[in-house]
């Protein structure tokens, strides 16, 4: 990348002090000079996480070397997940006298050359675009290292332009935080509304309620076990399907739920196939529900409504409601209950027929 007019491409070590933190050791767990210290667990994508800050002994001379000052930037030096390497945060002296451990690298800018906030956004970009991950080394644990970070090329504009860039990006950050707060409030209202509608029915619509094993429900509602409401089916291994870029049917996998088009209904998939070319593959039509049946994906509580002919992989389960219950209503009911509350979590989380068929569900007749 060529430098813009007035910008410099310069190694980080030329404009900042770059230092790896002090190694933690059992012999320093107690001592006369206990100090709070930051470690990788204290650095999150949303900023510093200071609810669990450890302490260890730093001699007075070590304290001078490893203490944090307002404006320092701390970055994750290593991680088992490459995408976490280089994750940055700005220290604003939230805990006076704090130091840092060797799972972090401290960057202390020369204030006449670089703003802390500008370098933070530079590092954040490098972390999010996987530039740090691509440069890291290691087998199980990926490291960026002090020397490599010190030689990291920074695209540095004049200080006044840095201030303007930081002002723009900071305002965007504030707008995102405001939007996220509003979304969080809406989600809480939605949860409360779902709870009322799915357990008490429409407001002022029901006057009488009956006691059941799951609590009071409207007298006009029914309560039945799953085996009277739906059928459950597993999926096909991808190797058994002949895929086509212009297929008429979708192949749904766990990561299909990550596509933005699939927030409620499964409208898109990265893989499709022609039904006529795959006669042995079972397709499910509109009106069935699909969700993960094993692994950590269960805890994301994602339940998709199938709206196009689709097959699913073996890590997913398809629930096909009968005429007794509306599929969209039942999707909201499952979301409200939570897949993670139904699953077997004694080892690898999983949901099977034995969990859903005997479970009882309430619904309007």
DSSP 60-79: HHHHHHHB--TT-EEEE-EE
Domain tally, the chain? 3
Residue 359 sits in a domain whose CATH number is 3.90.220.20
149 within domain boundaries: yes
Closest listed residue to residue 239, CA positions, set 281, 193, 199: 281
Position 3 in a domain:
no
| Banded model confidence at residue 3, pLDDT cuts 50, 70, 90 | low
CA dihedral for 277, 280, 281, 287, sign (positive or negative): positive
Residue 44 β-bridge partners: 47
d(CA 34, CA 41): 19
Instruction: Tell me the per-residue pLDDT of 256-292, one tens digit each, with 9 for 90 and over.
Output: 998 988 888 999 999 999 999 999 999 999 999 999 9
Domain assignment of residue 307, yes or no: yes
Q: Where are the alpha helices (DSSP H) in the chain?
A: 60-66, 116-128, 131-135, 146-150, 159-199, 327-337, 339-342, 353-356
Q: d(Cα 310, Cα 308) in Å, to the nearest integer?
A: 6
Q: Strand, helix or coil at 211?
A: strand
Q: Can you tell me the distance from the alpha carbon of 105 to that of 102, in angstroms, rounded to the nearest whole number?
A: 7
Judge if 333 and 217 occupy the same domain. yes
Q: What is the pLDDT of residues 38-85, one digit of tens each?
A: 999 999 998 999 999 999 999 999 999 999 999 999 999 998 888 899
Pair (125, 183) in one structural domain:
no
Structural domain boundaries, residue 75 = 8-157
Out of 172, 199, 226, a domain closes at 199
Domain ends where: 167, 199, 231?
Answer: 199
Residue at 233 is within a domain:
yes
């Amino acid at each position: 990348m060529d430098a813009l007019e007035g910008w410099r491409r310069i190694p980080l070590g030329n404009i900042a002090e770059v230092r790896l933190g002090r190694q933690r050791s059992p012999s320093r767990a107690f001592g006369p000079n206990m100090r709070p210290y930051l470690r990788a667990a204290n650095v999150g994508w949303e900023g510093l996480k200071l609810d669990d800050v450890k302490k260890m002994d730093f001699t007075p001379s070590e304290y001078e070397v490893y203490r944090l000052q307002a404006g320092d930037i701390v970055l994750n030096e290593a991680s088992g997940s490459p995408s976490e390497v280089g994750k940055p945060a700005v220290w604003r002296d939230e805990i006076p006298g704090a130091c840092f451990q060797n799972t972090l690298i401290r960057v202390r800018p020369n204030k006449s050359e670089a703003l802390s906030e500008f370098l933070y956004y530079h590092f954040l970009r490098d972390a999010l675009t996987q530039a740090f991950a691509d440069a890291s080394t290691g087998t199980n644990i990926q490291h960026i290292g002090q020397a490599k970070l010190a030689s990291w090329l920074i695209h540095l504009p004049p200080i006044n332009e840095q201030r303007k860039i930081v002002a723009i990006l900071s305002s965007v950050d504030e707008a995102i935080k405001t939007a996220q707060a509003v979304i969080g409030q809406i989600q809480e209202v939605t949860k409360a509304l779902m709870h009322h509608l799915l357990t008490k029915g429409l407001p002022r619509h029901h006057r009488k309620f009956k006691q059941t094993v799951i609590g009071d429900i409207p007298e006009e509602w029914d309560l039945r076990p799953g085996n009277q409401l739906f059928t459950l089916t597993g999926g096909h291994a991808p190797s058994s399907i002949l895929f086509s870029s212009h297929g008429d049917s979708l192949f749904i996998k766990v990561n299909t739920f990550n596509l933005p088009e699939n927030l409620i209904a499964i409208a898109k998939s990265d893989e499709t196939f022609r039904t006529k070319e795959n006669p042995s593959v079972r397709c499910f039509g509109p009106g069935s529900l699909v969700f993960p049946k094993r692994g950590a994906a269960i805890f994301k509580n994602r339940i998709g409504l199938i709206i196009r002919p689709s097959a699913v992989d073996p890590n997913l389960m398809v629930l096909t409601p009968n005429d007794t219950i509306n599929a969209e209503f039942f999707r909201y009911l499952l979301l409200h209950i939570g897949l993670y509350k139904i699953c077997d979590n004694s080892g690898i989380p999983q949901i099977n027929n034995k969990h859903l068929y005997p479970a009882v569900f309430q619904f309007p007749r």
